[in-house]
Structure 1
């Protein structure tokens, strides 16, 4: 069950990969004492989130399950019973 909901999608993998690279850049920049590079790394982290969300909105994220009712469907089923 958990395997189906752990973000095994192109949007999730791309967002996490870009974010990881951003944290790596910021981490190296802290060792090199480069404030500008730290901020650049953090900008890449934010970019990873934006890219991941944009890809999910474009249909490359997790698709809704056919086995789950919406609130409206649940209320209609209760009213019909």
Structure 2
């Protein structure tokens, strides 16, 4: 997984951040024994997923590839960083 950009997009970061906030809200209200607040937190979690998918549809996510094979050349055949052509 270190060789790709899985999850390093604005869509992924935004969706996960919103979902994390929702989990924190739900957890806090669960401890306070407030069911309405817990379910509000769960709605925020779902909203994070919806926002992530919407942002991906707007082009802010990982571009789709034709196949799952890494398109990057092996390290031995790549040019060194800073090599001039």
What TM bracket, shorter-length normalisation? 0.7 to 0.9
What is the aligned partner in structure 1 of residue 12 from structure 2? 12
**2: CA distance, partners of 1:67 / 1:25:** 39
Gaps of 5+ in 2: 70-85
**1: CA distance, partners of 2:10 / 2:41:** 22
1:13-63, CA deviations, whole angstroms, 9 ceiling, x for partnerless residues?
000000000000000001111000000000000000000000001100001
Gaps of 5+ in 1: 70-81
> How far does residue 64 in structure 1 lie from its aligned partner after superposition?
2.7
**2: CA distance, partners of 1:68 / 1:12:** 19
How many equivalent residue pairs?
69
* TM-score, with structure 1 as normaliser: 0.75
Larger proportion of helix? 1
Is residue 29 of structure 1 aligned with residue 24 of structure 2? no
What is the aligned partner in structure 2 of residue 64 from structure 1? 64
Q: RMSD between aligned alpha carbons?
A: 2.1
**2: CA distance, partners of 1:16 / 1:37:** 20
